[in-house]
Amino acid sequence: MIDRAYYIRKEINRLRKEKNAIILAHYYQDAAIQDVADFVGDSLELARKAAQTDANIIVFAGVYFMAETAKILNPNKKVLLPDPLAGCSLADGCPPDAFEAFKSLYPNHKVVTYINTSAEIKAMSDYVCTSSNAEKIIRSIPEDQPLIFAPDKNLGAYLNKITGRNMVLWEGSCIVHEAFSLEKLIELVVDHPEAKIVAHPESEDAILRIAHCIGSTSQMRNYIKNSPADTFIVATEAGILHQLSKEVRDKKLIPAPSSEDNSCACSECAFMKMNTMDKVYRCLRDETPEVHIDSALAVRALKPIEKMLQLS
Ligand code: 13P
Ligand code: SF4
């Protein structure tokens, strides 16, 4: 009897060659999806890869705003998202009408938005950034230019702190990164005083204050790979542990616990985990669900994304 997982992997490999398709996966995807992907990266690396590919079809194993960004960069390619309901609390928590009203309260401000937003919000933005280039992009803007930052209030507050800006912040947050418990983290530090703490800047200030490294998924990964330390407490989505466990076999990686977590001590993004190997296979086979975007909207949303890719 053929093992179903083996059959699916084999079919994905056959179909991707036959259709000249590329599979891009975020670090927060299931291990099997990361292993079958052509490229695994953080949101900036995935946007870059999407901008460079000559494949006819992009299967984006991530969440909706990531696949939508790939489509904006590739209006003539087919972009498929294994589960079209894979949202994001940051993108979903910043609806265009409410953001337009918010923006109108600050008429002389320019808008910097995190890439975790819809195409409509990107089209209303002057700059787009990711967690790995946000500081650089903000520092490239003249200091006397007032700014709005959306949608992540934690990342925005962190950026205000390190750049000395006073950006007006939209009140959004990531349900995964906001859930880390400081209390439980401190308990872990007491048990492992030698451990270095790595955290994503979507986490709350109390967590970031005690972190040794704050960065995007790839920046945290590089820190762990290159640090002489051998124990790390990892305050981000548990998917990052998959690549790391292959790369740093001799280091101890301890997932930071979330407030509600009393069992497995790991934090998972339920949106990211909506994609499965079965869905990756079926979307490649059937070429659906496809991401569609109005062409005039895509042109407007492309401008700040291109600016970001040039600046970073
Ligand atoms: P990265 O830019 O680190 O990939 O973060 C994306 C994201 O959604 C984090 O929750
Ligand atoms: Fe959005 Fe948070 Fe999930 Fe990242 S981890 S996709 S920010 S909900």
pLDDT digits (tens, 9 = 90+) for 250-296: 999 999 988 765 554 458 999 999 999 999 999 999 999 999 999 99
- The pair of structure tokens assigned to 130 is 């990711």
Instruction: Give the pTM.
Output: 0.95
Round to whole Å and give the CA distance between 231 and 208: 18
Round to whole Å and give the CA distance between 249 and 120: 43
The closest-lying atom of ligand 2 relative to the alpha carbon of residue 63 is 6
Other C-beta atoms within 10 Å of 73: how many? 23
Phi, psi of 230 (to 5 degrees): -120, 5
pLDDT of residue 312: 83
Round to whole Å and give the CA distance between 148 and 287: 38
- Give the angle subtended at the CA of 102 by the CAs of 173 and 148, to the nearest 5°: 65
In 115-207, the DSSP E strands lie at 127-129, 147-150, 168-169, 196-199
What is the CA(42)–ligand 1 centre distance, in A?
6
Ligand 2 pocket: which of 115, 132, 152, 269 to mutate (most atoms within 8 A of CB): 269
- The pair of structure tokens assigned to 284 is 């490649």
What is the CA(145)–ligand 2 centre distance, in A?
29
Round to whole Å and give the CA distance between 79 and 249: 35
Residue 249 pLDDT exceeds 50: yes
Contact 66, 41 (CB under 8 A): no
Residue 98 pLDDT exceeds 50: yes
What is the CA(43)–ligand 1 centre distance, in A?
6
Round to whole Å and give the CA distance between 201 and 249: 26
